[in-house]
A and B are shown apart, each in its own frame.
Chain A
Amino acid sequence: MSIELRRIAKSYTGEALALDGVSLQVKEGEMIGFLGPSGSGKTTLLRIIAGLEKQSAGEVLIGGKVVDGLPPQKRKVGVVFQNYALFKHMTVYENIAFGLKVQKQSKKHIHMRVMELLQYVRLEGLENRYPQQLSGGQAQRVALARALAPKPKILLLDEPFAAIDTKVRRELRQWVRDVHDDIGITSIFVTHDQEEALEIADRVLVMNRGKIEQFGTPKEVYEAPNSLFVANFVGEANHIYGKTVDHRVAIGEISVDVPDKPDGTNVHVVIRPKDIRIREIMSDDDVTGEIVRVSYKGDFYGVDIATNELRLHVYVPKEQDYLLEIGRNVAYELTDFKLFEERPMSTESEVNPYHIEIRKSS
């Protein structure tokens, strides 16, 4: 079912607004990722949709109908909680059956549905285990089966992969996406991991301090961030600070046009590692840098280049690995960059390991 939020606000007494006028529409069958740092309001928003928390202002519509008066029991929303919140005193079977039992369905019907779900989440044979006897991935699958058992119209997942090992996490999130497609449900998941959001969501809602920064496809959010915050939070990036002089700004030894900014504007330039190319030095006019670090990333290399003034992180395709020698000088050029007028930023350092801060005196 479709979901619509109209100017949702949430305030707790004595604190800044947790949500500040959030409006958005989710189409039936979409998978949406709510992405943001902790305290951005993404989990609060999810809980308001589920009915577990009440908004201070605004409306929630599910399937075109206002549901503000409905308690969580009646919203037909399945929730997978952070750390799963499995019933510890119940077996896997009893956990999955819970939602059907409270609907007073027949024993036979419950048994069939639970067995069907157990098979679906590949946990046959574990039905008599207790939650403490499961691995993180298994517990997560039980939580998903339990949420799906009463056939909800909407599935909400709160940091569903946070407590799982990296390798299993990758498999699980692909699998969750498959489940979503398979049963044709509308899903929203909350995450602080941009990789996760970009990988499986149809659209990503980037949130910061209770407000929407951007709501778009992973490609839009990654390639056309509409704010510095989004550029920072989504994807790795090089950050360069500078001041415009003659409608130009210097990025190391490269100088780029910024026709629409008056001189003396403090600007913040964001360059994705994939938007820098390296090659062999061919002429004296080439802008060059020295390779100081190379890390293997599978399909490409993450390479750090030190120039006279700054250090840039660059993705180098593996076809170019013959260039990658520590200490070697290579030429580099920019294929794209984003420019923002500078304002104070926050939270980027933990998200972007390659944050570079060079203040150039002009």
Chain B
Amino acid sequence: MRKIGLYGFVYVWFAILIVLPVLGLIVGAFRDGAGAFVRQLANPEALFSLKLTFEITGLTVVINGVFGVLAALVIARRHARGWQVINAIVDLPFAVSPVIAGLALILVYGPRTWIGGVFASAHIKIIYAMPGMVLATLFVTFPFVVRELVPVLREKGFAQEEAAVTLGASAWTTFWRVTLPGMKWSLAYGLVLTLARALGEFGAVLVVSGAVIMLTQSATLYVYQETVNSDLQAAYAVSLVLAATSFVILMILQLIKKRQGRHLV
């Protein structure tokens, strides 16, 4: 009996914490019908912000995918000197508030700094422009892929790679045919987390972007602005698109994983 009570509590908690807010979002977005929902999204400002967010997210997923895999290999193999340092630094983005991360980027790459000046003289704008927003998002989401992969790589060990090498495979072949397939589901999961976080990033992006409408206003910044302007209908619509994107991708991942069979780790 006590068990049922405890489990019941889990469901209640789940409902309070996750299900109800999501339902609220859906109801809010469609309160004035599907037509209104579509109209809100067709607003050029909304469309622009979504496009910008998807661009930043796409870049982030690709770049952090590559560097996350590299960092995970360095940490898991303990080969390169200083892997402990990297291991400790990887978690920093989780420990630091995104706003502070954004501020730090301005202090290094801002227009009045030396590095920012060098880029400015080459007519490349980093802060208050898209490169800075990508940098901020990269920073905030860096740990996801690494933290997914390191335990998997450590547990797997490197015997399969050694076997491949003794069978004549080059380092490159070994990576593509052995290492990568062996960790693809963990990598995919890390990338989905990265994607979800990148879609939803607010603080760091706000600080480095300046949130200029139709220029550096990403989707979350748009939602915030519309909320402040009390145009809740617009805020709900864009929010729902962001939430649904992460959710759908997560579901697709689960589906593929199931379909590919149980022999895959």
Chain A positions within 8 Å of B, measured between CB atoms, are 50-52, 71-73, 75, 77-79, 81-83, 85-89, 98-99, 102-103, 130, 132-133, 146-147, 149-150
Q: Do B168 and A102 touch (CB < 8 A)?
A: yes
Q: Do A89 and B181 touch (CB < 8 A)?
A: yes
Residues of B within 8 A of A87 (CB): 160, 163-164, 178, 182
Give the docked Cα–Cα distance between A98 and B160 (Å).
Answer: 12
A66 to chain B minimum Cβ distance, whole angstroms, is 19
Residues of A within 8 A of B18 (CB): none
What would 11 more interface pairs be, CB under 8 Å, given A79-B163, A133-B263? A72-B162, A73-B169, A75-B166, A79-B162, A81-B159, A99-B167, A102-B168, A103-B168, A146-B163, A149-B167, A150-B167
Q: Do A146 and B167 touch (CB < 8 A)?
A: yes
Residues of B within 8 A of A82 (CB): 159
Which residue of the partner chain A has the closest CB to B170? A73
Residues of A within 8 A of B27 (CB): none
Q: Do A81 and B163 touch (CB < 8 A)?
A: yes
Q: Do B178 and A73 touch (CB < 8 A)?
A: no
A-B contact pairs, 22 of them (CB 8 A): A50-B166, A52-B166, A73-B165, A73-B168, A73-B170, A79-B163, A81-B162, A85-B163, A88-B160, A89-B181, A89-B263, A89-B265, A99-B169, A102-B164, A102-B168, A103-B168, A130-B263, A132-B263, A133-B263, A146-B163, A147-B166, A150-B168
Task: Decide: A88 near B165, CB < 8 A? Known: A83-B159, A102-B173.
Answer: no
Q: Which DSSP category, helix, strand, loop or mixed, fits chain A's interface?
A: loop
Q: Do A102 and B169 touch (CB < 8 A)?
A: yes
B100 contacts chain A at the CB level, 8 A cutoff: no
Residues of B within 8 A of A51 (CB): 166
Instruction: Give the residues from 141 to 171 in chain B that come closer than 8 angstroms, CB to CB, to chain A.
Output: 159-160, 162-170
Task: Decide: A85 near B263, CB < 8 A? Known: A72-B165, A73-B168, A99-B167.
Answer: no
1/0 per residue, CB under 8 A from A, across B167-199: the answer is 111100100011001100000000000000000
Which residue of the partner chain A has the closest CB to B161? A85
B249 contacts chain A at the CB level, 8 A cutoff: no
Residues of B within 8 A of A102 (CB): 164, 167-170, 173, 177
Number of interface residues of B (CB under 8 A): 19
A98 to chain B minimum Cβ distance, whole angstroms, is 6
Residues of A within 8 A of B264 (CB): 89
Q: Do A98 and B159 touch (CB < 8 A)?
A: no
Name B167's contact: one of A83, A98, A133 (CB within 8 Å): A98
A196 to chain B minimum Cβ distance, whole angstroms, is 21
Which residue of the partner chain A has the closest CB to B178? A87
A167 to chain B minimum Cβ distance, whole angstroms, is 26
Which residue of the partner chain B has the closest CB to A133? B263
**Nearest 7 CB-CB pairings of A with B:** A85-B159, A99-B167, A130-B263, A85-B163, A79-B166, A102-B169, A89-B181
Residues of B within 8 A of A78 (CB): 166-167
Instruction: Give the residues from 50 to 77 in chain B that come closer than 8 angstroms, CB to CB, to chain A.
Output: none
Q: Do B265 and A88 touch (CB < 8 A)?
A: yes
Q: Do A99 and B168 touch (CB < 8 A)?
A: yes
Instruction: Give the residues from 212 to 265 in chain B that come closer than 8 angstroms, CB to CB, to chain A.
Output: 263-265
Give the docked Cα–Cα distance between A87 and B159 (Å).
Answer: 9
Give the docked Cα–Cα distance between A77 and B163 (Å).
Answer: 11
Q: Do B166 and A77 touch (CB < 8 A)?
A: yes
Give the docked Cα–Cα distance between A81 and B182 (Å).
Answer: 18
Residues of B within 8 A of A98 (CB): 164, 167, 169, 177
Which residue of the partner chain A has the closest CB to B169? A102
Which residue of the partner chain A has the closest CB to B164? A98
Q: Do B162 and A52 touch (CB < 8 A)?
A: yes
A282 to chain B minimum Cβ distance, whole angstroms, is 61
